[in-house]
Amino acid sequence: MSSLLVLGIESSCDETGVALVRAEGEGVPTLLAHALHTQVAMHADYGGVVPELASRDHIRRVIPLANEVLAQSGTALEAIDMVAFTRGPGLAGALLVGAGLACALGAALDKPVLGVHHLEGHLLSPFLSADPPEFPFIALLVSGGHTQLMRVDGVGRYELLGETIDDAAGEAFDKSAKLLGLGYPGGPALARLAEFGDPEGFKLPRPLLHSGNLDFSFAGLKTAVLTHAKRMESAPCDQQRADLAASTQAAIVEVLVKKSLNALKNSGLKRLVVAGGVGANARLRDDLNAACAARGVRVHYPELHLCTDNGAMIALAGAMRMQAGIEAPSRQYAFDVKPR
Ligand code: KG4
């Protein structure tokens, strides 16, 4: 394979993303252009994502975003070699928008299309950073729907080492933020409030911290936050709210750091990749960086603007799967999506 120009489309939840990457030979693909529209403001009034509104907005945005990417990179539509789209997991109606456009473009241009797993996009996204990782590595995948530790030996060679048995880390951030009366999305809001609080202000559980395996559980933490938040209702105090936010963040981060270190130790690997929306959390980054530096482990993150959902990671994953010879180009335009 010499050169491959891949258009990537992401529409699994509340971000519409389109991007163009070029893969040359075996080298790490380069990002030529990307465009993103976030629906955060639209869903904020409802306190969470409204699936039908999400689908309708993807429909409104996706073609203008694709045009923007082509214009930004000075690329003619006909020059695209392949279209990658998020097949799942995500909201069915939202996924169908990206899949529909990808397959319509593929059919019109007579070019192959490729459905990509959303989490594989997150997992490989640090390859678009200035300091890309090398295989093998341990990956900590922390998003709104997933919390997983994986051993990654190459593209498509993933071994699940542990995952959450109930809520995801992002969900723990979001639900705790809601209990504290913070807006949507809760993770960044809670992190901002935590800056003013004492992380030891409240004693909160660290579920499964010493379980001996690499699984996570955050449901009990949420219940503890609920208990404290309820107590606070009778005598609201800004400092106490900030302390509870800081304590919640500290509890989530401590578990994520400890389990990541255990995974590194068990595997003997010296590289960690952190991906997914929660990977944008500054406290998580600081604590992981410090703990890993002390153990001679290098930590790789996606560029901050590529931590949350985006089209670049989908174009990249599609290109890397082709480079690895995992996928044969497909002209099956009778597409489907896999919400779960
Ligand atoms: O990866 P992502 O954009 O979407 C999913 O595929 O789930 O992750 C979204 C999650 C949300 O739960 C959001 O609250 C969380 O990432 N998040 C954060 C931060 N930024 C985003 N959580 C904590 N601190 C942040 N700075």
C-alpha to C-alpha distance for 16 and 19, rounded to whole angstroms: 10
- Closest ligand 1 atom, residue 308 Cα: 3
Per-residue pLDDT, 1: 61
Superfamily of the domain at 134-301: ATPase, nucleotide binding domain (3.30.420.40)
Radius of gyration over every alpha carbon of the chain, rounded to an integer in angstroms: 20
Pocket of ligand 1 (CB under 6 A): 143-145, 170, 173-174, 185-188, 191, 276-278, 280-281, 308-309
Q: At residue 111, what are phi and psi to the nearest 5 degrees?
A: -120, 150
d(CA 268, CA 41): 44
Instruction: State the Cα–Cα distance between residues 102 and 75, nearest whole angstrom.
Output: 17
ipTM surpassing 0.95, yes or no?
yes
Indicate which atom in ligand 1 lies nearest the CA of residue 170.
12
Residue nearest to atom 23 of ligand 1 (CA): 187
Q: Reduce the DSSP state of residue 24 to 3 states and report it.
A: strand
Measured by CA distance, the residue closest to atom 3 of ligand 1 is: 308
CB 98 within 8 A of CB 58: yes
Q: How far apart, in whole angstroms, are the C-alpha atoms of residue 255 and residue 241?
A: 22
How many whole angstroms from 188 Cα to the centroid of ligand 1? 7
How many residues are recorded in the chain? 340
Q: Ligand 1 test: best mutation among 16, 122, 173, most atoms within 8 Å of CB?
A: 173
Q: How far is the CA of 211 from the centre of ligand 1 (A)?
A: 25
Q: Do 134-301 and 3-125+307-323 fall under one CATH topology?
A: yes
Residue nearest to atom 8 of ligand 1 (CA): 277
Q: Which helix (H) or strand (E) holds 135?
A: none
pLDDT along the chain (340 residues), means of 10: 92 97 95 96 88 97 98 97 96 97 96 95 95 96 93 97 96 94 90 97 93 94 94 84 97 98 98 94 97 97 91 98 89 88
Question: Within 13 A of 325's CA, how many CA atoms are on the CB side?
Answer: 3
- pLDDT value at position 177? 95
Closest CA relative to residue 112, chosen from 223, 216, 7: 7
CATH number of 3-125+307-323: 3.30.420.40
Instruction: Label residue 289 exposed, middle or buried (CB < 10 Å: 0-12, 13-18, 19+).
Output: middle
Peptide bond before residue 329 is cis, with ω within 30 degrees of 0? no
Crossing angle of helices 169-179 and 186-194, in 10° steps, is 70
Tell me what pLDDT residue 153 has.
97
Q: Which SS3 state, helix, strand or coil, does residue 20 take?
A: strand
* Dist. CA 115–CA 134, nearest whole Å: 24
Dig out the tokens for 288 from the structure: 């992981």
User: Which atom of ligand 1 has the smallest separation from the CA of 309?
Assistant: 3
Ligand 1, atom nearest to 12 Cα: 6
For residue 39, which of 19, 56, 21, 63 has the smallest C-alpha distance? Answer: 56
Residue 17, both tokens: 């993303």
Can you read off the two tokens belonging to residue 84?
């990658």
The CA distance from 218 to 205, in Å, is 9
Q: Are strands 147-154 and 82-88 parallel, antiparallel or unpaired?
A: unpaired
Give me the residue spans of the domains in the chain: 3-125+307-323, 134-301
pLDDT at 99: 97
Tell me which of 184, 278, 284, 285 to substitute to probe ligand 1's pocket, judged by most ligand atoms within 8 Å of the beta carbon: 278
Judged by DSSP in three states, 330 sits in strand
- Reference 281, options 187, 197, 186; nearest CA is 187
CA atoms of 54 and 58, how far apart (whole Å): 6
Helix, strand or coil, per DSSP, at residue 23: strand
What local confidence, expressed as pLDDT, does residue 47 receive? 81
Q: Which of 319, 333, 326 is nearest to 113 (CA)?
A: 333
Check: CB of residue 93 under 8 Å from CB of residue 54.
yes
Q: How far apart are CA 63 and CA 312, in angstroms?
A: 16
Distance of CA 165 to the CA centre of its chain: 19
- The rounded Cα 134 to chain-centroid distance in angstroms is 20
